[in-house]
Every structure is written in C-alpha cells, then in structure tokens.
Chain A
Amino acid sequence: DVKVTQSSRYLVKRTGEKVFLECVQDMDHENMFWYRQDPGLGLRLIYFSYDVKMKEKGDIPEGYSVSREKKERFSLILESASTNQTSMYLCASSLYGAPEAFFGQGTRLTVV
C-alpha cells in the first residue's frame, strides 16, 4: 500500500511563527501536493511538485512556500503564520502522468 505520512496530526502555533509541515511518501512517486481543506470550500491546491527541487503554484499559494530536496519528502512552510491559515492541511502524492492521488491523514493547524 502507498503510504503518505504527515509529521503531525495536530499543531498549535502562534501568529507570526514560522511553521513547517512535513510529508513523506514511500512509493517513489514523482508528484507531491499540498492541499488545504476548509468546510464548504473543498480541497484547494496550495503548491505541487513534479520533481525534486521543482515546484508550481496552485490556486492559493499566498502566504506559503514549499521545499522538495528529496523525492520522498515535501515540506510546506508558513513564513509568518496568521489566524486565517488555521485549517486542515493535506499532503498527497501520485505517479507522474497518473491522476490518482494518495493522501496523508492530514495536519490540523490552529494559529492563535
């Protein structure tokens, strides 16, 4: 089974802090994604990466950055956390050219 593991299930951070969300996949997938999930808004793509050191902006990249130094690891960075970034964050991976995405269990981030 494909496994996508997010480093934290729950995080509480203060406004202005720099926050790192980590994601690791074990299936040698080329593509990795970060989504944000909010009620009534579905899953919105923040950033995705189709190769090491490659990244593309998704629909809502403002306030976020990403890092992919190794194929299996994709990090989401909140440079200066704000309360409107309180949300569920989901990491996913897929094979290049294959549309099926495999998701991690999510990180619920609360910014206070």
Chain B
Amino acid sequence: QQQVKQSPQSLIVQKGGISIINCAYENTAFDYFPWYQQFPGKGPALLIAIRPDVSEKKEGRFTISFNKSAKQFSLHIMDSQPGDSATYFCAASMRGAQKLVFGQGTRLTINP
C-alpha cells in the first residue's frame, strides 16, 4: 500500500517530441505527488508537484496529469530537449507524514 509504481524504466524520445512517464499508487491517503529530476552526478531536485484537488498542473513545458479515480499520475514533457535527459522520479506523501515514497525512476534520453 505504500508503494508507488513507475513506468517505463527507460525512455528514448526524439528532440521536439512529448515524453510521458507514468506512476500508479494504491494508498488513497496520499495527498501530495511530486516529481523529481536528477542529472548525472547530482542529487534529485523537485521539478513540479500536485495535490489531488486539481487534475492538472503545468509549469512551462512540464505538466502533471492526475487521475484520482484511477490512482494514477503522469509527467508530460512537451517539446522535449536534449537538456531534459535525466532520471525522473515520481513520489507520494500522506498529509502530516514526514517522508516521501518514491517510484523506481525513469531514465529519459532525448536524442538530438
């Protein structure tokens, strides 16, 4: 129940394409869903986050889509660029909880 399942494990997209990474969860008590971006040799950094009272959040080329009934959320990267090549982690947290539960990670490669 504490797990967050992320797919795919790796993804290759052409420059200018749309990258889509999916996550699913079981615990309906989760109420905060962030995405972290990690470049090689660096620690993960918060990219964008959503709470379940909205179905979509957009920041620049990055959009989170949230489907509460399906218990799924996804990250969409529009007009993908080589600089977006990184590992992406979804995560979830319960209200009042002090820790995040992370997905398995997706290694995204954008080909020029």
Q: Which of B86-112 contact A (CB under 8 A)?
A: 89, 93, 96-100, 102-105
The CA of A71 and the CA of B46, in the complex, are separated in Å by: 23
Which chain B residues lie closer than 8 Å to A96 at the CB level?
98
Pick the contact of A97 from B34, B42, B43, B96 — CB < 8 Å? B96
CB pair A48 B99 closer than 8 Å: yes
B78 within 8 A of A: no
B48 to chain A, nearest CB (A): 11
A103 within 8 A of B: yes
**Interface 0/1 of A74-112, CB less than 8 Å to B:** 000000000000000010101011011111111000000
CB pair A103 B44 closer than 8 Å: yes
CB pair A45 B99 closer than 8 Å: yes
CB closest chain-B residue, reference A97: B96
CB pair B98 A42 closer than 8 Å: no
